[in-house]
Amino acid sequence: MVRSTVRRVGLGVYTNGDSTGRSYRSRHTEVARSRQTPMININPFTPDSLLIQTANLQRNNRKRSHWNDSCGEDMEASDAECEEDIIPPSKRMTLLDSNMVSRYATEFHELEKIGSGEFGSVFKCVKRLDGCVYAIKRSKKPLAGSVDEQNALREVYAHAVLGQHPHVVRYYSAWSEDDHMLIQNEYCNGGTLADVVTENYRTMHFLSELDLKDLLLQVARGLKYIHSTSLVHMDIKPSNIFLSRRTMVCVDDFDDDEGPSTNVVYKIGDLGHVTRIDNPQVEEGDSRYLANEVLQEDYRNLTRADIFALALTLISASGAEPLPTNGTKWHEIRRGKLPPIPQVLSQDFLSLLKLMIHPDPARRPSSSGLTKHPVLLTASRMSADQLRVELNAEKFKNALLQKELKKAQQAKAAAEEKVLTSDRVLTRSTLQSSRNSRLIGKKMNRSVSLTIY
């Protein structure tokens, strides 16, 4: 006689010890459970509160699923509680798992290649459905299973969490094709700050102090937003600052604290090195803009590392020689010495830049403090006032043109009226002459000749 053993399987369904003798309900439950557990990624930059809410929602859904699968049979509380609260790493989706038919070729029309970097190439594309222009970044090589895959996913995670801000490049979507990552971002028609710096250095025509202050203020606003989400950029440099040139400017469309003060809007992009403040996983960026404390793996003031890099970005934009990657000059900058700047800047502005590269990161201003700094606020008001003057001048020109146009229209109308009047007078004169010619001799006596014989 074969001894039959009984054991618990799945969600309260009993069966024999022989695996081939499992009930239909057990197999059905396992298949249903596998279908209800899709592979998803957990965004490491998502606020903890949202992760907790997601875990609770998953737990509640599993409890309801357990109850439905048991069909009213007895179920112990431990059966639901022993389930994992979040999806384990083995269930995370990789780039290889998300391959699909070419979305790039189907949804977008490529116009031109606009950039290339360490990650890959960037293309200017028109989306066939909405007719709008976007920047599509595509990795140079297959990323699935490589170290670069996590960097690519980090950029997507950061973009998705940050959302939309006037001084951060806007993110729309991301997907993979043939193990390559593609990211659909906002298209910035002004290129990068690195392009501007290169052209200015070639022509020896540099940004003025007012322009530099405006650049600093706008990027500081973007960093303030990033830091407010407990994230740090960790790779601020000219090639990661993008420009959007506005064809029409209206100062009243923006708040004084967040909106642009000129017709050039600076936006922070390339978030491949973003990490969390409270649990940093630091990938060192460009050594030319890297703060010394990061090199020493001191992560207590990571947000101030962004401030250090921003100061050197401003120095590059001011026309200074290319920054050193190492050596004596590199260490002098880390000791708080400003590189030579080939233009005269105010002492207040130079003092601010020097404070931003202070060897003690705690002494550097925060991004929030920069947005309220008197030197930059003065520049912002001056830029806004200058724009208002220019707008008023344009309005005055338009008013003059409107006045001249009105005069021209009145002169034209008067000339047309004069012509019509002359035509009417001429017509009346002609009619009168014709009438008079018919009336000649009407009242005159006719001569009668009488001959009497």
> Which amino acids are annotated as binding site, given as ranges?
114-122, 137, 240, 270
SS3 assignment, position 14: strand
Helix residue spans in 240-373 (DSSP H): 292-295, 302-317, 328-334, 347-356, 367-371
Q: Can you tell me which residue has the tokens 């220019």? A: 390
Q: Is 286 a catalytic site residue?
A: no
Q: How far apart are CA 382 and CA 377, in angstroms?
A: 8
Q: Which residue ranges are tagged as binding site for ATP? A: 114-122, 137
Q: How far apart are CA 292 and CA 284, in angstroms?
A: 11
SS3 assignment, position 430: helix
Which one of the listed residues 148, 179, 214, 235 is annotated catalytic? 235
Q: How far apart are CA 80 and CA 230, in angstroms?
A: 34
Please give the single-letter amino acid code of residue 381.
R
Could you tell me the strand order of the sheet in which 120-127 lies? 108-116, 120-127, 133-139, 180-186, 171-177
Asked if 154 contacts 272 with a C-beta cutoff of 8 angstroms, the reply is yes
Kind and range of the H or E element at 120?
A: strand 120-127
Tokens of 391: 């707008």
Instruction: Sort strands 231-232 and 275-276 into parallel, antiparallel or unpaired.
Output: antiparallel
Q: How far apart are CA 222 and CA 165, in angstroms?
A: 7
Residue positions annotated with a catalytic role: 235
